[in-house]
A and B are shown apart, each in its own frame.
Chain A
Amino acid sequence: MKRVISSILCGIMVTGLLAGCGNSAGTTKSTQTGSQKESSTKSESASATESKAGTTTSGKMQTVTIWHDGDESIMNTIETQVNTDLKAKNVEVKFEKKSGLTDQLKLYGNDEANGPDMYFYAHDSLGSFAEMNILAPVTDFISTKDETDMIPMTTEACTYKEKQYMLPVYYETLLFVYNKDLWQGDIPASTDDLLSYMKAHTDEKAGTYALVNQHSTAYNVAPVINGFGGYIIDKNANPGLNTKETKEAITYNQKFAALEGAGDYDTCNTLFNGKKAQAIIGGPWLMSGIKQAGINYGIKSLADFKLPNGNALKPYSGVQGVGVLKYAEKSKKEAITEVLKDLCNEKVGIALAKESNCAPANQKAYSNADVSSNEMIMAMKETTKSAVPMPNIPQTSVMWTPAEALLAAVNKSGEDVNKAADDYQKQAKQAIADMQ
């Protein structure tokens, strides 16, 4: 009896262990009927299950699955708008959240049975996905005519090696957010004046700050580096950590860092939301926390601050958009084309601006009164004048570590800028070489 029980238990354990390796019946693709691939999520709705057997030509609803790793409310807004627009065309989109989307796409990017049809993500990973050969250019589905209303910076960000692999939907940049109840006087027009204000209004012992910023995070220091004419990595994958301009920028940023506290994400937010800091440099992702803390906030574009060399601060812009997986081009071309065409019009942008304060990539959306009266969105639009799209080449992914290590070494450990810049430039070059 014991033997039987132990054999059954062993069998169950081994089956359970190996179950994850197989496809469920719900995800099996029927080649005979030309059925469409469904997502790996097993809890499909009834309509999604129905769509497995259907095609647009047969008049049944066809589901396009889009993986994302972002804010659920933003994705819900897009999903609702697109599904409303495409109801008559029997096409629906279904957003599914996948944490660590980059890694998920590495695993499933070539797996039609378990992967998504499209993905929604920031543009800076685009080069990596394109090199992995898992993406189809969006121009296979829509023409450049469909995109005439897009802000050029956003389409430029979605282009890699002269092919556009993503359709921009909205974009983000860093902003200067201040507490109107705490800030004294006008917001300075130059970074030098801002520094003077910070010196006069920061008391580290008391734990109160004029401005907090993630001073050792490359993305947050990029406005100064780009403004000084330096760069973290250029279009040809050359790291620029020890160029004269970058070093000047880091040295200049060091003066601010000394007055900005620990400078990590949590500390900055807690200080600002706890009314211990008068201003913060951050993106729209901070707004829900700021509103929740009941801060009477004002917003200023970073492009409004002039550096000592006369240039404006030039933050990176991150474009959020959709890309199409290569295998989906064969099986769902019609449906995906409809989705992309719908995302090209300004309706989605307006809905996103109203619901989630996102800055639409479509210029036409700014004619809408709700969009043009939104202080934050207009500040981001203003910033596009000077903003630099984040590099989307694959080498960017290995640059953040040496760039941030350099900033931390200078700002937190007090290392010499020249020596540290040379050391980390060497590390950056090695990291890039290691990719091959």
Chain B
Amino acid sequence: MNWKRKYQPWKHTIPAFILIGAIIIFPIVYTLYISFTNMNLYHWDNYGFVGFRNYIRALFKVDSGFIEAIGTTFLWTFLNMVLQIVIAFFIALGLNAPKLKLARVYKTLLMFPWAMPAYVSILLWKVGIYNTDFGLANKLLSWFGISKIDYLSKNVPAFLSCMVLNLWMALPFMIMMFDGALQSIDQSYYESAKMDGAGFWVKTLKITVPSVKNIMMPAVLMTTFTTFKQFDIIYLLTQQKGALTGATLQTIITYVHQKAFVSNNYGLSSAVSIVVFVLIILISLFLNKGLKEEAL
């Protein structure tokens, strides 16, 4: 009986462990293994162990460009998250307004950008909105007699253009989360506040925000990581092979990709990946710790 009770949980979790091991753990362990070898174009089938050589080279890649990329990544994450949370919160509030008609229709329409494949959305924006000759953004400017702008040729406008697209793509998820959180608030709080004479801002700051804060934390944390390791928007808008726009905007991930993954040196690329992996784990631990302390 004791034996059965002791091993019962393992029996139930082993299939999940096998799946997690095959899908998540194995690639990481294999990458770690490759990072200690000289596997590259010139040692394709005869690669061997080289110790920490790739790691020493990977750390040398932490040059001024990398520091700049870290700065850009933090700025990118911070601005995107602040804007996402604020905009999504107010849109969700609007969608939950008691007298709003066709609320479900609006909610469905707002889901569209999230449901579209990212690759398609990004290329649609690149050609349909930001293209200098045919893009909607420049068409609007020309209607007002303003000359054309190349939105993606310099870093600042390219950063803002990427951010607008990221917001368009990411807001639906955040709105949906806020919408769910708002619906879980007991309406009697608002009725009591109304009787006490509270206005919109007081009700929002004293009831709504504290009520949704804890519910939203996991979604915010998840989106923060997604935004932090964003690759496809910046890469496809500004760095796509054969269509470089002139902007040299780099986040940690695009920088690492450019520096390590075009060389066909799998040993070095794996070492760089492991370094970035460790970096992200450390940031994740730091953020989690911060959140726990706040919760206490």
Contact = CB atoms under 8 A, between A and B. Distances in A.
Nearest to B240: A264
A431 B241 CA distance: 16
A56 interface: no
Given A216-B244, A412-B245, A128 B264 contact: yes
Interface string B104-124: 000000000000000000000
Contacts of A214: 242
B6 to A, nearest CB: 18
Contact of B247 (A266, A401, A413): A413
Interface in B50-109: 57
A285 interface: no
B263 A409 contact: no
A217 B244 CA distance: 8
Interface of B: 15, 18-19, 22-23, 40-42, 44-45, 57, 127, 131-134, 147-148, 150, 153-154, 241-248, 258-260, 262-265, 268
Contact of A436 (B134, B245, B265): B265
A412 B153 contact: yes
Contact of A401 (B23, B44, B133, B241): B241
Contact of B265 (A216, A217, A266, A434): A434
A272 to B, nearest CB: 12
A213 B35 CA distance: 42
B110 to A, nearest CB: 29
Contacts of B57: 434
Given A128-B41, A216-B244, A413-B247, A267 B133 contact: yes
A435 interface: yes
Nearest to B261: A434
- For the complex of A and B, the 9 pairs showing the least CB-CB separation, nearest first, are A412-B246, A413-B246, A10-B15, A434-B263, A408-B244, A408-B246, A132-B44, A412-B153, A262-B132
Given A405-B248, A412-B150, A434 B134 contact: no
A434 B18 CA distance: 36
- Interface-central residue, B41, B131, B132, B245, by most chain A CB under 10 Å: B41
Nearest to B152: A412
B222 to A, nearest CB: 25
Contacts of A412: 150, 153, 245-246
A409 B248 contact: yes
A128 B262 CA distance: 13
A143 B46 CA distance: 31
Interface string A359-402: 00000000000000000000000000000000000100110110
A398 B263 contact: yes
Contact of B127 (A266, A394, A397, A407): A266
Given A14-B22, A131-B41, A436-B40, 12 more contacts: A106-B44, A216-B246, A217-B242, A267-B132, A401-B258, A404-B242, A404-B244, A407-B244, A413-B153, A434-B260, A434-B265, A435-B263
Contacts of A434: 57, 259-260, 263, 265, 268
Contacts of B41: 128, 131-132, 394, 435
**Range, interface on chain A:** 35 or more
B131 A262 contact: yes
B45 A14 contact: no
Interface in A127-147: 128, 131-134
User: How would you classify the secondary structure of chain A's contact residues: helix, strand, loop or mixed?
Assistant: helix
Given A398-B262, A431-B263, A435-B263, A267 B241 contact: no
Contacts of B248: 405, 409, 413
A310 interface: no
A408 B238 CA distance: 10
A13 B246 contact: no
Contacts of B150: 262, 412
A270 interface: yes
A13 B22 CA distance: 12
A101 to B, nearest CB: 15
Interface string A250-262: 0000000000011
11 contacts: A14-B15, A110-B44, A131-B41, A214-B242, A264-B243, A266-B127, A394-B264, A400-B242, A404-B242, A405-B244, A435-B40
Nearest to A276: B133
Interface string A6-22: 00001001100110000
A207 B40 contact: no
Contacts of B23: 17
Interface in A222-262: 261-262
- Interface-central residue, B127, B132, B148, by most chain A CB under 10 Å: B132
A416 to B, nearest CB: 14
A324 interface: no
A270 B245 contact: no
Contacts of A106: 44
Nearest to A435: B263
Nearest to A130: B41
- Interface-central residue, B154, B244, B260, by most chain A CB under 10 Å: B244
A301 interface: no
